[in-house]
Amino acid sequence: MAVYMVLWKIGSGRRSYETAYKAFVDHLERYDHIEDHELDNVRWISTSGTADQLHADLFRKLNSDDRLIITKLAAGSYQGWINHQVSKWIDSRL
């Protein structure tokens, strides 16, 4: 299993921003994941898939005005000031 940090931005030019945002988050929540409620538009996902597979799946809910980046975390190779429970969740999966 790998842990990926997923960051996204739903374009504000959409007719129904709230609907698009909810559809994306609902789709993303099918994965084993955690969020830090102090950080908007960021989730950590644990999956056996690759970054390319995760991107292809999540991008189905986005359009060309939206943004998405997925980066794989590696044990001992990340630092940050995030919620302690999030850190524990990440560490337990790396």
Q: Indicate the domain borders of the chain.
A: 2-93
At 84 the pLDDT is 96
Q: pLDDT band at 21, cuts 50/70/90? A: very high
Dump the DSSP string for 62-77. --TT-EEEEEE--TTS
Q: Which stretches of the chain are DSSP H helices?
A: 17-28, 51-59, 84-93
pLDDT digits (tens, 9 = 90+) for 46-66: 999 999 999 999 999 999 889
Q: What is the topology classification, in CATH, of domain 2-93?
A: Alpha-Beta Plaits (3.30.70)
- The mean of the pLDDT values for the chain is 95
Which backbone phi and psi does 40 adopt, to 5 degrees? -80, 145
Environment class of 93 (CB within 10 Å of its CB; exposed 0-12, middle 13-18, buried 19+): middle
CB distance 55 to 61 below 8 Å: no
